[in-house]
Amino acid sequence: MTTTFMESAPLLKVSEMAETLISSEIIRLANEIKDRIGKGQKIYNFTIGDFDPKIFPIPKEFENEIISAYKKGETNYPPPNGISDLRQAVSRFLHTRGNLEYNENQLLISGGARPLIYGVFQAVVDPGDNVVFPVPSWNNNHYCHLTRANAIPVETSAANNFMPTADDLKSHISQASLIALCSPLNPTGTTFTRQQLKDICTLILDENRKRGENRKPVYLLYDQIYWMLTLGNTVHFDPVSLFPEMKNYTIYIDGISKAFASTGVRVGWAFGPTKVINKMRAILSHVGAWAPKAEQVACAKYLFQDDNMDSYLLQIKGKISERLNAFYAGIMSLKQEGFKVDAIAPQAAIYLAIQINLRDLKTPEGKKITTAEDATQYILDEAKIALVPFNAFGATHSSSWYRLSVGTATMEDVTKSIDNLRNALRKLSA
């Protein structure tokens, strides 16, 4: 006779960190959308910060280099900081594209940007240290939780395109160990102006002069993963280009995932002060977070193909811009029709920040919309449009702003979804 052991889940104990880890609102939304699509519903899914390869394929030349690397047997362990050829190629890429001077020993390669961000937190933040970051922003709260840091979210506003200012950060700077910034920003697709970033860098430099050499400095994590996808007249600014002294305190996060629609290829890089990069390398070597070797070999070769990169960036930015501008025009036309919607003009990345304010309106069934969750659900149920509310990125639950991603959108999707939204808004009453 076989005895079946039944696990008594409520009796199992895990770490406090794991027990209290907050699940992702984006993943919850994604699961609901997947379930609906599986049941045959037509959903315009603009939640995904990713690319549909049928619409935005990776560069053909890069794909060919990946295939070639696998055929040549580049399948063994890479060095923990990345193969030398790739680090040299990235060093050249930063010089030619961003006028940034970092040698290969100041660079760390990893399996995308996420392990690198985790590595920064682990390398410079002690349990209980203060980490200051703006909201809405992507995942900073979760990295704080994973490293037992004290999260200091700073609410931003549409008036500043949801980008933080030095005044927003000033009251927290004296107790901060890390300031985590992103430009172009996920979820808004907005960017720092030169003056905004200069003021923040001045704040950090002044604070570190006060601390001297006997205290740990306040570091700046600068996530610029979308910097190659600036649109129109938008200019990307970075800390070290503005203040060379910031090189002592700035750790950049970057990679191929966004500019070359290569999210699944998993090649990212960090660069910054040599000691910090070395400590990050040691941490991540124990995690095994390196990028696959074949992809590293391929990326090293592709980053030297300047003409091919220029051609690819021109076409991908054109397709992204076409979609973002069409969505923006659609939202603004709804605003002119009297609906309580708004948007920030596209600046960069694959995101549009849009506002859909349905608070206190009534659905056709007479149900009053009182929360952001109610509004998000109505848009999904009635307009068949899936968006990510800013509260999923740490903003207050009263926010009526959303992230709209165009990485999986066709131009037909733009037109039809705006029509759907118009029809859904018309059904609401005061």
Same domain, 315 and 411: yes
What's 420's domain CATH number?
A: 3.90.1150.10
**C-alpha span between 93 and 90 (Å, rounded):** 5
pLDDT tens digit at each of 430 positions of the chain: 555 555 555 678 899 999 999 877 777 787 888 888 888 889 999 998 999 999 999 999 999 999 999 999 999 999 999 999 999 999 999 999 999 999 999 999 999 999 999 999 999 999 999 999 999 999 999 999 999 999 999 999 999 999 999 999 999 999 999 999 999 999 999 999 999 999 999 999 999 999 988 899 999 999 999 999 999 999 999 999 999 999 999 999 999 999 999 999 999 999 999 999 999 999 999 999 999 999 999 999 999 999 999 999 999 999 999 999 999 999 999 999 999 999 999 999 999 999 999 999 999 999 999 998 999 999 999 999 999 999 999 999 889 999 999 999 999 999 999 999 999 999 999 8
**Is the previous residue joined to 184 through a cis bond, with omega within 30 degrees of 0?**
yes
Same domain, 341 and 390: yes
Same domain, 265 and 314: no
- pLDDT tens per residue, range 255-271: 999 999 999 999 999 99
Same domain, 19 and 126: no
Same domain, 194 and 330: no
CA dihedral 49, 263, 184, 227 (to 10 degrees): -160
**C-alpha span between 316 and 55 (Å, rounded):** 10
User: Residues with Cβ < 8 Å from 120, sequence gap 6 or more?
Assistant: 178, 219, 221, 251, 253, 270, 276, 280
Same domain, 297 and 251: yes
CB atoms within 10 A of CB 392: 23
**C-alpha span between 359 and 172 (Å, rounded):** 33
> Nearest to residue 122, comparing CAs of 108, 136, 137, 102?
108
Burial of 114 (0-12, 13-18, 19+ CB in 10 A): middle
Whether 85 is in a domain gets the answer yes
Judge whether 28 and 389 are in contact, CB under 8 Å. no
Q: Which residue has the tokens 């696990």?
A: 7
DSSP string, 340-385: SEEEPPP-BTTEEEEEE--TT-B-TTS-B--SHHHHHHHHHHHH-E
**C-alpha span between 309 and 299 (Å, rounded):** 12
| Residue 79 DSSP class | P
The distance of Cα 127 from the centroid of its chain, to the nearest Å, equals: 24
What's 84's domain CATH number?
A: 3.40.640.10
Same domain, 25 and 116: no
Whether 1 is in a domain gets the answer no
User: Residues with Cβ < 8 Å from 4, sequence gap 6 or more?
Assistant: none
CB atoms within 10 A of CB 314: 10
What is the extent of the structural domain holding 368?
Answer: 9-56+310-426
Same domain, 209 and 273: yes
The distance of Cα 210 from the centroid of its chain, to the nearest Å, equals: 32
pTM of the model: 0.94
